[in-house]
Amino acid sequence: MMARGSNKLSPFNITALALGFSFLYLPIVILVIYSFNASRLVTVWGGWSLRWYVEFFNDRAMLDAAWMSFRVAASSATLATLLGTLAAVALSRGANFRGRALFSGMLYAPLVMPEVITGLSLLLLFVALDAERGFWTVTIAHTTLTLCFVAVVVQSRLGALDPTLEEAAMDLGCDPLRAFLAATLPLILPSIAAGWMLAFTLSLDDLVIASFTTGPGSSTLPIRIYSEVRLGVKPEINAICTLIIGAIAVVIVGASLAAKLSDARGESAAPL
């Protein structure tokens, strides 16, 4: 919304926006264009072609990695949403218990923790537990990474909700659990959905934690791509990256639509 009545951008603002956005998106645009390159050499333009997409869909190892990534992202996002929502509800609705501020702080700490540390500590844990590294260890690792993002998103929505709504539901005959389900859950559902999608994309993107916690034979897509790139960039990588960008764009738009819906339902905005 413009502060002043005008809907027009000044030339200065247009230039600033153009510069900023090209800085952000020019590399990606080049990558997308080069994914349709017919040439075998990454840096030489050889006309338009879909051959690298075809190549990818015939690359068994790459497809396995993509499927692995998808499964890890979906299950870790689901686990993180469940645990993160519970944490958010406990922290914003539970009585003012001792150490609440400490718990809130501890929930947010992983947001700023270097991934190398998270990854290494999880690796040490799994080794100590003698857990076989693979799908489940990566899923658990990604759950710990994304849980706090979900909790932050859901908690900000809960904080903006009127706590007397649940009291009203109890007054009208709901036990505490039903009151939560009938009065609060419908209002925080969009932010729970947004939290899930955020967790999904974070897990899909992650290279560092996954490479610490995965085992032989179960590479995620980022790990697979990274190891291929070390041997030299094939144009096929560009095609895969374009697909990932497309998938993430869809999820992010979905998440912001969900957040918008959440605003429209409640009285006040939930910052995402």
Partner 1 sequence: MTDDAAKAAWDADSARPEPQPAADVPLLRIDAVVKKFGAFRAVDRLSLDIRAGEFFALLGPSGCGKTTLLRMLAGFETPDQGRILLDGKDIAQVLPHQRPVNMMFQNYALFPHLNVRDNIAFGLKRAGMPRPQHDTRVAEMVALVKLEGLEKRKPDQLSGGQKQRVALARSLARRPQVLLLDEPLAALDKKLRESTQLELMELQRRLGLTFIIVTHDQEEAMTVAGRIGVMDAGRLEQVATPRELYEAPGSRWVAEFVGDVNLFEGQVEQRENSRLAIATRDAGTVFVAEPRQPVTKASVCVAIRPEKVKLSRRGPASDAVNARAINRLDGVVTDVGYLGGLTTYKVKLDSGAVLRSSMANTARLDLDAYSPGQRVVAWFTPDDCVVLEQ
Least distance to partner 1, CB of residue 177, Å: 11
* Euclidean distance between CA atoms 70 and 66, whole angstroms: 6
Rg (CA), the chain: 22
Least distance to partner 1, CB of residue 245, Å: 35
Q: Which is nearer to partner 1, 46 or 176 (CB)?
A: 176
- Spatial contact of 190 and 265, defined as CB atoms under 8 Å apart: yes
* Euclidean distance between CA atoms 51 and 250, whole angstroms: 24
Q: Which is nearer to partner 1, 131 or 170 (CB)?
A: 170
Q: Which is nearer to partner 1, 116 or 172 (CB)?
A: 172
**What's the burial of 22, exposed, middle or buried (CB within 10 Å: 0-12/13-18/19+)?**
exposed
Q: Which is nearer to partner 1, 66 or 154 (CB)?
A: 154
Per DSSP, 231 falls in state T
Least distance to partner 1, CB of residue 181, Å: 12
- Spatial contact of 252 and 204, defined as CB atoms under 8 Å apart: no
Which residues are CB-neighbours of 40 under 8 A, at least 6 positions away? 46, 235
Q: Which is nearer to partner 1, 144 or 262 (CB)?
A: 262
- Spatial contact of 68 and 221, defined as CB atoms under 8 Å apart: yes
Q: Which is nearer to partner 1, 132 or 171 (CB)?
A: 171
- Spatial contact of 87 and 107, defined as CB atoms under 8 Å apart: yes
Least distance to partner 1, CB of residue 158, Å: 14
Q: Which is nearer to partner 1, 90 or 170 (CB)?
A: 170
- Spatial contact of 177 and 185, defined as CB atoms under 8 Å apart: no
Least distance to partner 1, CB of residue 259, Å: 16
* Euclidean distance between CA atoms 133 and 97, whole angstroms: 38
**Which residues contribute to the site for partner 1 (CB under 8 A)?**
162, 164-165, 167-176, 178-179, 182-183, 186-187, 265-267
Least distance to partner 1, CB of residue 166, Å: 9
Least distance to partner 1, CB of residue 219, Å: 44
Least distance to partner 1, CB of residue 48, Å: 49
* Euclidean distance between CA atoms 155 and 88, whole angstroms: 5
Q: Which is nearer to partner 1, 11 or 173 (CB)?
A: 173
Q: Which of these, 144, 112, 110, 151, lies nearest to 213 by C-alpha position?
A: 144
